[in-house]
Structure 1
Amino acid sequence: MSDNRFKIVFDGALLPGVESTTAKLNLAELFKSDVQAIEKLFTGRPVALKRDLSHSDAETYLIALKNAGVDARIEPEQPVAFSLAEAHETDSGGSDFSRPAASPYAPPRAAVGEHTAEFTTLKVFTIHGRIGRLRYLAWTLVLTLALLVAGGIISTASFAVATASPTAGTILGVLLGLALFVALVWVSVQIGVQRLHDLGWSGWLYFLNLVPVVNSIFPLLLLVLPGNTGANQYGPPPPRNSTAVKVLATLWLAFIPVMLAIVVTLGMNGYLNQLEANMDSSYESSSITSDDATDQSVTVDEEEAAQSADDTAEPVDSPEQ
């Protein structure tokens, strides 16, 4: 074996701030193995995770282990002489990773970096996998636009049917609106659960959106908190954000204050219209009251004038007198 070959050695050490459980889960994902088998690596003895590597390949494997939270190191390969019996025992032990290896340098069942996805596969219509913050924003914008378009189509179709039969138009609008609502909720739950997985949280926490007061804060956490940089118990990290994702996320962030401004403007207009209507009704009431008072005063004056005329009238002598 030449002197320019290297190996990756691990003796159970972890990077600062990384919990043992998290590191074991990350290694299980890298090795495509279970946590019980990964426990065999944490004995404190040095284990060669990968052998006979060039320096560049060794650096690649080391970066993968660093992302998993493992403090591994690169060491040059040293010629080691094995007997035929020892080699046979090592090969047979290597086929079952759960069995203790005869040699402390026996490799694990799967080589690091081989058959391991660097990023998770994006699947929207599922509760499995992970999506990041920007991709979550982008999908929220897409769902909002789809809701507006589908709502317009449903309203147009219902109005067209209602011109011939109001009852049929109402029934059609209710059924299509209910189907649209169920589809929107279903997709929203799926992308929300994947966003929780990116944070390393359980998808069941999505039901916090049903709790009053909490549901006004919890969605903001999904937009603000960063996801795990490495693999977690829900899989590898999501792919890097494409240009389209960044553009859609930016448009959604710009769309939110516009929507708030529209809502505030409509609310102020409604308040001003209501205030104006109240003022008009008060003015009309006061006008009616003043008119009634004028009519009453005129009537009183006419009655007094008539009474005065009766009092001042001279009596007429009768013919007999």
Structure 2
Amino acid sequence: MENAYQAPVSNIEQQSQEYQTPRIWSLRGRIGRLRFIAYCGLMPPILVMLGILFGLIIPLLPPAVARSFRDMPPAFVGIALFVVVMLFIAYFAVRRLRDMSYPIWLSLLMLVPYIGTLPLLLLIFKAGDEGENRHGLPPAPNGMGVIIGAILTSLLFISGMLKNASR
């Protein structure tokens, strides 16, 4: 006879969740939403700082080389920086799409004006696959640096939107 008030007995095994530690410069693997926001948002300020450093180094170059850089039109520098930022965003978008098991060609849709915001919103708001998929293990939990980077990126984005809305 069974006791109706007896605690249930079950064989529960502790399953350890395995994670993959994402490396920022590796094209393999997956990255989560917060890491995508942090990486994409902090890349332009890093490139601007590198541009300032480059501008400080130009006077130290030989005169002929420095003159060729000074004669470069500013629009060319702006376009070059824009292309580099877009390449980095596409690079991180591919890894984010892998986290959701979506085809990587969807990252090309981000180049289409107006329509490009839809895949970007998908990358930011849709959760990735829970467990392992064909691109590897799920990314490791976010560290404090990733969380701070995502918060800074979000604050920069929101403050830019508010500044433009007040005009």
TM-score grouping bracket, smaller chain normalisation: 0.7 to 0.9
Moved more, 143-152 or 242-251: 143-152
* Higher gyration radius (CA): 1
Alpha-carbon spacing, 1:212–1:180, altered in 2? closer, same or farther (3 Å): closer
Q: Secondary structure at the match of 1:138?
A: helix
Q: CA deviation at 1:256?
A: 1.1
Gaps of 5+ in 1: 1-54, 65-116, 269-321
Query: What corresponds to 2:27 in structure 1?
Result: 127
Q: CA deviation at 1:121?
A: 3.5
Q: CA deviation at 1:263?
A: 2.6
| Residues matched between the structures, number | 154
Identity %: 27
Choose which of 111, 118, 134 in structure 2 pairs with 1:233: 134
Higher relative contact order at CA 8 Å, sep ≥6: structure 1 or structure 2?
A: 2
Matched, 1:253 2:144: no
Choose which of 83, 108, 122 in structure 2 pairs with 1:221: 122
TM (normalized to structure 1)? 0.41
> Partners of 1:157 and 1:169 in 2: how far apart?
12
| Post-superposition CA distance 1:56-75 (Å, at most 9, x none) | 8xx13xx36xxxxxxxxxxx
TM (normalized to structure 2)? 0.73
Query: What corresponds to 1:272 in structure 2?
Result: none
User: Is contact 1:158–1:172 with CA below 8 Å preserved after alignment?
Assistant: no
| Post-superposition CA distance 1:26-51 (Å, at most 9, x none) | xxxxxxxxxxxxxxxxxxxxxxxxxx
Gaps of 5+ in 2: 1-10
Bigger strand fraction: 1
Instruction: Give the partner amino acid of 1:230.
Output: G
Matched, 1:205 2:114: no
**What's the C-alpha RMSD, in Å, of the aligned pairs?**
3.3
Query: What corresponds to 2:7 in structure 1?
Result: none
User: Is contact 1:193–1:206 with CA below 8 Å preserved after alignment?
Assistant: yes
Query: What corresponds to 1:296 in structure 2?
Result: none
Q: CA deviation at 1:127?
A: 2.6
